[in-house]
């Protein structure tokens, strides 16, 4: 396991000048050892969740994919997050690695393993914000007055159990996040070929699954048809 040390942090300074809107709040970390060559790397973070935010991770200046635990929801507890980084062709990862983390203050430890480490990923998934821990700063008379997107894409993917589970995975991180910001519901496009597979035969099970998960967090669905 490669452990990282913090080398820079601008969370306390950004927002105190006229140009604060053009600077991202984040911290930089440097590896204390050199990783071995691998097709993919798993990054784990342990942090204090004390505000609402959305984490973005860059490795040597390139984006890492968020997997689980990447939304801060102001729960007031320690949590875990996981990211995956795939090096570009010819990228040398054998030297010192720099990781920039934006939107996740309160990081207590940052580490990386070669390959896809399911133990790090599963720990972050198990540590996700539970429905009872997701709170809203607002109480809306009409929940659908404020709606947000939560990772339900409008692109032409196929309605399969695998794609449904991927969509639900996105929502498990993003539903508590939008609730912590005060949103009362989520929006998504209704793809009619997901509903009417053949003329006159209807199946709403894909969207039923989204609604059921959102309802656990007390959120409503706003369909776009």
Interhelix angle 205-216/161-180, nearest 10 degrees: 30
Give the pLDDT confidence of 177-213 residue by residue, as tens digits: 999 999 999 998 888 888 887 889 888 888 999 999 9
* Measured torsion, CA atoms of residues 131, 133, 166, 113, in degrees rounded to the nearest 10: -150
Give the pLDDT confidence of 112-132 residue by residue, as tens digits: 999 999 999 999 999 999 999
Kindly report the CA angle at 183 between 162 and 123, in degrees rounded to 5? 45
Domain with CATH 2.60.120 in the chain: 2-128
At 155, the pLDDT band (50, 70, 90 cuts) reads low
Count of CA atoms in the C-beta half-sphere (13 A) of 224: 11
Give the pLDDT confidence of 70-119 residue by residue, as tens digits: 999 999 999 999 999 999 988 888 889 999 999 999 999 999 999 999 99
Give the pLDDT confidence of 17-37 residue by residue, as tens digits: 665 566 778 999 999 999 999
Tokens of 113: 């393993």
Distance CA 104, CA 157 (A): 31
Residue that has been written with the tokens 């983390």 in this structure: 101
The topology (CATH level 3) of 2-128 is: Jelly Rolls (2.60.120)
Does 40 score more than 60 pLDDT? yes
Provide the pLDDT for residue 14: 64
């Amino acid at each position: 396991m490669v452990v990282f040390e913090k080398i820079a942090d601008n969370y306390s300074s950004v927002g105190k000048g006229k140009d604060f809107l053009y600077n991202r709040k984040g911290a930089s970390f440097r590896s204390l050892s050199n990783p071995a060559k691998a097709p993919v790397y798993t990054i784990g973070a342990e942090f204090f969740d004390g505000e609402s935010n959305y984490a973005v991770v860059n490795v040597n200046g390139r984006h890492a994919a968020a997997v689980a635990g990447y939304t801060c929801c102001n729960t007031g507890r320690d949590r875990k997050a996981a990211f995956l980084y795939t090096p570009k062709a010819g990228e040398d990862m054998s030297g010192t690695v720099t990781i920039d983390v934006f939107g996740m203050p309160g990081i207590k430890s940052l580490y990386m393993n070669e390959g896809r480490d399911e133990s790090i990923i599963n720990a972050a998934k198990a540590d996700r914000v539970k429905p009872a821990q997701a709170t809203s700063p607002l109480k809306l008379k009409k929940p659908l007055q404020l709606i947000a997107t939560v990772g339900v894409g409008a692109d032409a993917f196929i309605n399969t159990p695998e794609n449904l589970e991927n969509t639900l995975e996105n929502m498990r991180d993003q539903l508590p996040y939008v609730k912590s910001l005060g949103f009362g519901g989520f929006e998504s496009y209704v793809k009619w070929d997901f509903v009417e597979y053949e003329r006159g035969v209807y199946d709403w099970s894909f969207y039923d699954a989204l609604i059921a998960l959102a309802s656990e967090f007390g959120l409503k669905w706003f369909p776009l048809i």
